[in-house]
Structure 1
Amino acid sequence: MMKGRESLPCLAMVLVQLGYAGMNVLSKLAMDSGMNPFVMATYRQVFATVVLAPFAYFFEWKTMPKITKSVLIQLFLSSVLGATLNQCLYFLGLKHSTPTIACALTNLLPALTFLMAIPFGMETVGIKRRAGQAKVIGTVLCVGGAMLMSFYKGSLIKIGKSPIDWRYAESMRERNSGNEESTFIGPLLIVGSCVAWAGWFIVQTKMSKGFPAPYTSTGIMSLMAAVQCGVIGAFSERDLKEWSLHSNIRLVASAYSGAIGSALAFCLMSWCIQRKGPLYVSMFSPLLLVIVAILGWGLLDEKIYVGSVVGSALIVLGLYAVLWGKEKELEAINGVDDNKTLQHIECGEKSDLELQVSSNKHIQDSV
């Protein structure tokens, strides 16, 4: 029985990656059908808000702290960075690239968060230590892999034709044949979405200390983002017919991305972080790349090029280097804090070290 319980976090994270893989494939098909990326982002936020509302009400409504003006400002910044900019840029980049490239580039997030956290004093380089060297090398590998995928295509890797003949996906590809994929603009937009997401982590680190109610904060953030994306979408797509979800693929993709890609994935990852920690959750990111690559080839007849494979490999290697460095750094911080705590207990003194340890761990969680 214990072994079964211990395997639940692993199963949950595999389900999260499968859910994200399905979201990428369905979103790509919806946009190939002509759906505006900003309209897609708007509906994702709407469905996410609807799904998260019951969780916020039943689990946090009676216990959540007061929503102050400072918290509202932080929620607004979180919605702009973590939802509006992040998802609008991501969907726009996905439209001009492929699901495999999009998933590969999202592995840049830990490296970008590390770089952006340094000016705010949330991260230190520590180049003289092995952990610091691993973070720097991993960041360089991630950035190099992203640049390779953005600017170098290379020769086509011949792996045979998919045995699955999905006529609907084939018709969508023919409809989208005029739009060039895998150009440098698509990957660059996805990198931009990762930069916005990294900025969200920095804002979230501060907000979570004063407002520790994840379901409520995410629900409010999604609601704000729905309004923001709606305004952007209204300017980019003024034809009301294009906002209709009468098309099955558009309805399924919008509902799926909101309910599974945002709400369910958030709940499962939060649970896994509580059980196993953030590094455990991060280790499953490359699995998404493998699943999407298989689905992209099998269902969408996606072509794979040398530049994409080499760039993806560099990004994954860089990801694990950064995570290894963070793990060693966290172990060192916890070791020092534990020693200090013991010293204070022996002296019979009270201290706020537990708060410091919690703060340090939360900063680690952002990466």
Structure 2
Amino acid sequence: MGADLLPFLSMVLVQVGYAGMNIISKLALDSGMNPFVMVAYRQIFATIIIIPFAYFLEWKTMPKITKHILFQIFISSILGATLNQCLYFVGLKYSTPTIACALNNLLPAITFVMALPFGYYNLLNMETVGIKRKSGQAKVLGTSLCVGGAMLMSFYKGSLINIGESSIHWRYAENIRQRNSSNEENTFLGPLLIVASCIAWAGWFIVQTKMSKAFSAPYTSSALMCFMASIQCLVIGAFEEQHIKEWSLASNIRVIASIYCGAIGSALAFCLMSWCIQKRGPLYVSMFSPLMLVIVAVASWALLDEKIYVGTAVGSALIVVGLYAVLWGKDKEMDQQTSIDEMSLGEGMESAYKGEMELPVYSK
């Protein structure tokens, strides 16, 4: 019972942490904090927090860091940290936490599509589309639903869904939004940037999967990735925001958001997800993604007075259904591949056994 409960609670904690990160980050952005400044601070705090884990858990056992590995970590830092997070937080600035979380569920479908032309199926345990099999049809259908849901959320708002008023509005959040009323939502630009961040994240997943085969030290690679991303984001932030006062963390919400994103959004989430992947596999971890959408939607309505529209609700539902269709197809495909591997292994052992029995006859 405990062996099943602990991974479940860990993944629920990760999704709650990510949900809190979206809401707190949105408040910091609404207060006027530059998203590039926030990302730079996130990478700095994440680096500081992950380094002790890398030192105490992997320093004596990690493989040799070659120039090729460093180059792959550099590419990973550009895709998975700098591009992904800069695009995501700028998109969050012009969007809402609910829309951002819903579009984040596009990641499995985008990874599936990107793996096709680059030929990374053997790395991702997806050898072929297999359109004649149910698993292949589910992945194609799920990808189509995810893309359709994302387009619906980007281009259609619809009428307001009247679900009543919350009686527990966060007065602090209301004051921030009133003081910074110029931060208007952009129905098209915000979702578009978040989708672009998912594309960058999918590219990181492909590079990371290949790199992990030769360098199995996730904490060390993450620490190096965050360190490289810190430099990249500081350079980008310096060009984007040249006023020193805008880098100040004197505001409570800004320092809380920066530390929270680095500690919870990067360091803690990575450690827990890495542990759960080892215990239950990547598919188990992916299936908890829609939970963040539910938590953020409820919390945003209750605390931030976020309005829910028909386009957001229907698009979110399509993305969640599509996500589970892709994951179901991937799960079935992996089961089929496991069965094939077991059959091949059995035939190989049988051939080897016969070869040993026939060897004396051959030697004569």
TM-score normalised according to structure 1 size: 0.93
Deviations along 1:317-348, one digit per CA (max 9) or x if unpaired, are 10000000000000011111111112222233
1:52 alignment counterpart: 50
Per the TM alignment, residue 179 of structure 1 is displaced from its structure 2 partner at its CA by 2.3
2:181 to 177, 186, 193: 177
Deviation by residue 1:55-98 (Cα, 9 ceiling, x = unmatched): 10011011111111100110010000000000000000000000
1:106 maps to a residue whose letter is N
Q: Which protein is bigger by CA-based radius of gyration?
A: 2
1:115-174 C-alpha deviation (Å, 9 max, x unpaired): 001112223221111111110000000000000000100001111111113221001111
1:321 equivalent in alignment to 2:319: no
CA separation in 1, counterparts of 2:151 and 2:118?
Answer: 26
Structure 1 residues 7-156: aligned runs within 5 Å: 7-123=5-121, 124-156=128-160
Amino acid at match of 1:126: G
Contact in 2 for aligned 1:98/1:182 (Cα 8 Å): no
Mapping 1:265-304, distance limit 5 Å: 265-304=269-308
SS in structure 1 of the partner of residue 95 of structure 2:
coil
Measured in 2, the distance between the counterparts of 1:176 and 1:125 equals 48
| Deviant stretches of 4+, over 3 Å | none
Counterpart of 1:177, as a letter, is: S
Distance 2:177 2:329 in 1: 42
Letter matched to residue 82 of structure 1? G
1:182 deviates by: 4.8
Shift of 1:53: 0.3
CA RMSD across the alignment = 1.0
AA aligned opposite 1:259: A
Q: Structure 2: which 5+ residue stretches go unaligned?
A: 122-127, 354-364
Q: How does 1:163-202 map to 2 (within 5 A)?
A: 163-202=167-206
Query: AA paired with 2:100?
Result: A
* Distance in structure 2 (CA, Å) of the matches to 1:230 and 1:8: 38
Residue aligning to 1:223: 227
Aligned twin of 1:337: 341
Distance 1:278 1:75 in 2: 21
Query: 3-state DSSP class of the match of 2:187?
Result: coil
Q: Percent identity?
A: 72
Deviations 1:250-287 (A, max 9, x none): 00100001000001001111111111111111111100
Q: Which amino acid aligns with 1:71?
A: I
Are 1:205 and 2:209 counterparts? yes
**In the alignment, is the contact (CA less than 8 A) between 1:108 and 1:315 conserved in 2?**
yes
Letter in 1 for 2:330: K
Assess if the C-alpha contact under 8 Å between 1:20 and 1:261 holds in 2: yes
Listed as ranges, the gaps of 5+ residues in structure 1 are: 350-367
Q: Partners in 2 of 1:54 and 1:338 — Cα distance?
A: 40
Paired residue type of 1:75 = I
What is the CA–CA distance in structure 2 between the aligned matches of 1:279 and 1:50, rounded to whole Å? Answer: 29
How much has 1:4 moved relative to structure 2? 2.7
* Counterpart residue type for residue 97 of structure 1: S
Task: Compare 126-135 and 169-178 and name the one that shifted more.
Answer: 169-178
Find out whether 1:246 has 2:250 as its counterpart: yes
Amino acid at match of 1:147: M
Do the aligned partners of 2:169 and 2:304 also contact (CA within 8 Å) in 1? Answer: no
- The answer to whether the 8 Å contact 1:90/1:189 transfers is yes
Structure 1 residues 169-225: Cα deviation after superposition (integer angstroms, max 9, x where no partner): 001111232222151100000000000000001111111111110000011000000
String of CA shifts for 1:293-329, please: whole Å, max 9, x gaps.
0110111111110000000000001000000000000
